[in-house]
Amino acid sequence: MPRFRLLVAYDGTDFHGWQRQEPPNLPALRTAQGVLTDAVSDLMRERITVDGASRTDSGVHARGQVAAFSIADPRIPVSRLVMALNTRLPPDLEVRGAWVANNSFDPIRNCRSKAYSYRLRHGCEGRPDGLDGRADPFERRTTAQCRHPLDITRMRTAAALMIGTHDFRSFAHCPEQRESTIRSVHTCSVIEPSPGVVRVDVAGGGFLYHMVRIMVGTLVEIGRGRFEPESVTEILAARNRARAGPTMSPVGLCLEWIHYGTTDPTIAADSVDGATAPTASETA
């Protein structure tokens, strides 16, 4: 049975997360998986199950979500799949690539690493543009707001201490739901893409529930001077959620990419639109 892999991007503001949700005796909630599944099913003229690599929360965005589905009779060549699906999708969700994948490809189990970014405007109170803490109307869907000015140097020092393999129980919501809270963070960096804006980039083998948002919340507390940068080591050792910073709003969080190894075994053919299949060095 042919299997297809999709690269998907969406503005998560008006979605109840990625995963399809159908409450008993109630209409299904609008989710990215649900909308994409309906579009694929409509195109293929039969009910299809579309699996996703990352179960992003309500309000979280994605540039590099990976999805996959199988169908006995595709009805349409992979070269036309992107265009055919996008004509059936709303403006806040887009398919950016399509490939033929190995029949065994599982977007969750085959994932080797993934990356998120968190975008935050800080020092909003008393801004010269007169916003005084209000969200910039051009950023309100993708950038979180912090009224307090942040010390980027302190945040960078702390971010470096989050890199490595640690028990991230202090940085997880409902950690008891996982067999292990040990995770490997490959990179954690704090950059300033423009004046007054901070972006935290985090990549790793996998993340716990709300882990990135709590990591960023802790960095914000350090940037404000409420925690010391070196306290990250103590917070990790405590294995206690109460020791870390707050869970940041989902508005600033974006799933950037998902990788599947140095020689991605899931791709069986080139992608549409003349692009080649992604490698480990590209955003999948």
pLDDT of residue 159: 98
**Catalytic position from the list 38, 57, 92, 106:** 57
User: Is 261 inside a domain boundary?
Assistant: no
* Domain shared by 118 and 104, yes or no: no
Give the CATH number of the domain where residue 105 resides: 3.30.70.580
Q: Do residues 121 and 251 both lie within one domain? A: yes
Question: Do both 159 and 186 map to the same domain?
Answer: yes
Query: What is the token pair recorded at 127?
Result: 């801004």
Mean pLDDT on 226-255: 97
- Together in a domain, 83 and 161: no
Q: Compute the mean pLDDT over every residue in the chain, rounded to the nearest whole number.
A: 88
- CA dist 266 and 251 (Å) reads 32
Please indicate, yes or no, whether residues 44 and 170 belong to a single structural domain of this protein.
no
Structural domain that includes position 95: 3-110
* 106 confidence band (pLDDT: 50, 70, 90): very high
Q: Are residues 149 and 215 in the same domain?
A: yes
pLDDT tens column, 110-165: 999 999 999 999 986 544 444 445 567 778 899 999 989 999 999 999 999 999 99
Distance of CA 61 to CAs 48, 49, 159, 266, Å? Answer: 24, 21, 22, 24
State whether 78 and 166 are in the same domain.
Answer: no
Residue 219: inside a domain, yes or no? yes
Count up the domains in the chain and report the number: 2
Q: Is residue 180 part of a domain?
A: yes
CA distance 230 to 72: 56
How much of the chain, in percent, has pLDDT values that exceed 70?
A: 88
Instruction: Confirm whether 238 is domain-assigned.
Output: yes
Q: Which of 82, 110, 138 is the last residue of a domain?
A: 110
Tell me which of 105-119, 145-159, 173-187, 248-262 is least confident.
173-187
Average pLDDT over residues 250-273: 70
> Are 92 and 211 within one domain?
no
Residue 228: the pLDDT is 97
Q: Measure CA 120 to chain center.
A: 15
Query: What's the pLDDT score for residue 264?
Result: 55
**Residue 122 contacts residue 148 (beta carbons within 8 Å):** yes
**Residue 197's CB: how many other CB atoms inside 10 A?**
16
Report the alpha-carbon distance of residue 183 to residue 114 in Å, rounded. 12
174: its two tokens: 């409902």
Q: How many residues does the chain have?
A: 284
> DSSP secondary-structure letter at 267?
B
Q: What is the pLDDT of residue 271?
A: 39
| CATH number of the domain bearing residue 227 | 3.30.70.660
| In a shared domain, residues 136 and 58 | no
57 catalytic? Reply is: yes
Query: Which of 48, 83, 110 is a domain's end point?
Result: 110
d(CA 93, CA 106): 22
Give the count of beta carbons closer than 10 Å to the beta carbon of residue 147. 14
The pLDDT value recorded for residue 262 is: 56
- From 50, 77, 110, give the residue that closes a domain: 110
- 117 plus 248 within the same structural domain: yes
Residue 270 lies in a domain: no
User: Does residue 170 fall inside a structural domain?
Assistant: yes
* Burial category of 130 from C-beta neighbours within 10 Å (exposed 0-12, middle 13-18, buried 19 and up): exposed
Is residue 281 domain-resident?
Answer: no
Q: What is the mean pLDDT of the segment spanning 172-177?
A: 80
**Pairwise CA distance, residues 224 & 219, whole Å:** 9
Of 52, 106, 55, 65, which Cα lies nearest the Cα of 211? 55
As beta bridge partners, residue 116 has 202, 255
Q: In 10 A of CB 102, how many CB atoms?
A: 14
Considering the domain architecture, whether residues 231 and 159 belong to the same structural domain is answered as yes
Q: Is the pLDDT of residue 281 over 60?
A: no
Same domain (yes/no): 70, 177:
no
What is the model's pTM?
0.88
How would you class 94 by CB atoms within 10 Å of its CB: exposed for 0-12, middle for 13-18, buried for 19 or more? middle
pLDDT for position 221: 98
Q: Is residue 284 part of a domain?
A: no
